[in-house]
């Protein structure tokens, strides 16, 4: 199931618009904060799909029956661009364990590239809810490689993918290579993917905009 948040008018679209805005992007701190805010809302919407159990909370005046999250998820992100989204999700799932995976493109030509996973630090994910975040889903190759790398830590019970912007090609690829039950929480789906695998209109290079250009 694909949840496309841009299809409903809300303050979310304002944050996503600022994330794309070439003038606002000149302020790296504002870009990081907008990426964080986008992922907080995506995480909130995702939380509606999780399991809860009732607990009686003692207040100064009585007992309040409250539905609390039953199991903490594992939050995984792709370095380095995903760090901003990871922080936003961690603001809401503040007791979750974290996994970090480094994946990068190695180009042979402008159009042809391979994806390599270079580094991973992750907890056990056996029978866990796994939430993988990455700001941009262009081809989906990096996300699939990261998921396969994480399987070394066990088989998750449920997988969620969270992204600010995705191309249709990426979502189609992911639906073929990730578990059928995977749910996708996407800020907006852009229609064009260039021959160099860049999303248009997209927002540019999220990693560079958040943390500076890499050599």
pLDDT one-digit tens code per residue, 64-88 = 999 999 999 999 999 888 899 999 9
Counting residues of the chain whose pLDDT is more than 70, the rounded percentage is 94
Residue 110's pLDDT band (boundaries 50, 70, 90)? very low
Higher pLDDT, residue 64 or 142 = 64
- Domain segments of the chain: what residues? 2-49+73-211
Nearest Cα residue to 38 out of 22, 18, 9, 67: 18
The pLDDT value recorded for residue 113 is 45
User: Which residue bears the tokens 């600010």?
Assistant: 164
The pLDDT value recorded for residue 141 is 87
**Residue 140 to residue 8: CA distance in whole angstroms:** 25
Q: Say if CB 122 and CB 101 are below 8 A apart.
A: yes
Give every CB contact of residue 97 below 8 A, 6+ residues apart in sequence.
72, 74, 75, 123
* In the predicted structure, residue 119 carries a pLDDT above the cut 90: no
The pLDDT value recorded for residue 25 is 96
CB environment 179-214: b (16+ within 10 A), e (fewer):
eeebebbbbbbbeebeeebebeebbbebbebbeeee
Q: Say if CB 204 and CB 75 are below 8 A apart.
A: no
Q: Say if CB 146 and CB 118 are below 8 A apart.
A: no
CATH 3.40.50.2020 fits 2-49+73-211, yes or no: yes
**Residue 39 to residue 19: CA distance in whole angstroms:** 12
**Mean pLDDT of all residues in 184-207:** 91
Residue 215's pLDDT band (boundaries 50, 70, 90)? confident
pTM (predicted TM-score): 0.91
Q: Give the C-alpha distances (Å, rounded to integers) separating 46 from 4, 52, 117, 146, 198.
A: 11, 13, 27, 20, 26
Higher pLDDT, residue 113 or 181 = 181
Residue 79: beta bridge partners?
Answer: 102
* In the predicted structure, residue 8 carries a pLDDT above the cut 60: yes
């Amino acid at each position: 199931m694909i949840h496309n948040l841009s299809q409903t008018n809300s303050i979310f679209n304002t944050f996503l618009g600022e994330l794309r805005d070439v003038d606002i992007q000149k302020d790296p701190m504002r870009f990081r904060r907008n990426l964080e805010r986008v992922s907080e809302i995506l995480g909130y919407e995702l939380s509606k799909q999780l399991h809860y159990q009732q607990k009686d909370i003692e207040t100064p005046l009585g007992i309040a029956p409250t539905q609390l999250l039953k199991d903490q998820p594992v939050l995984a992100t792709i370095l380095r661009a995903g760090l901003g989204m990871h922080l936003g999700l961690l603001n809401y799932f503040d007791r979750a364990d974290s996994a970090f995976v480094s994946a990068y493109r190695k180009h042979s030509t402008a159009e042809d590239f391979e994806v390599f996973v270079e580094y991973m630090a992750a907890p056990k994910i056996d029978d866990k809810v796994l939430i993988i975040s990455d700001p941009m889903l262009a081809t989906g190759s990096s996300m699939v490689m990261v998921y396969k790398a994480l399987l070394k830590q066990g088989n998750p019970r449920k997988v969620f993918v969270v992204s600010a912007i995705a191309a249709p090609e990426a979502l189609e690829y992911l639906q073929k290579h990730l578990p059928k039950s995977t749910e996708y929480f996407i800020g907006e789906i852009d229609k064009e993917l260039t021959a160099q695998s860049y999303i248009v209109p997209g927002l540019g290079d999220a990693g560079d905009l958040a943390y500076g250009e890499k050599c």
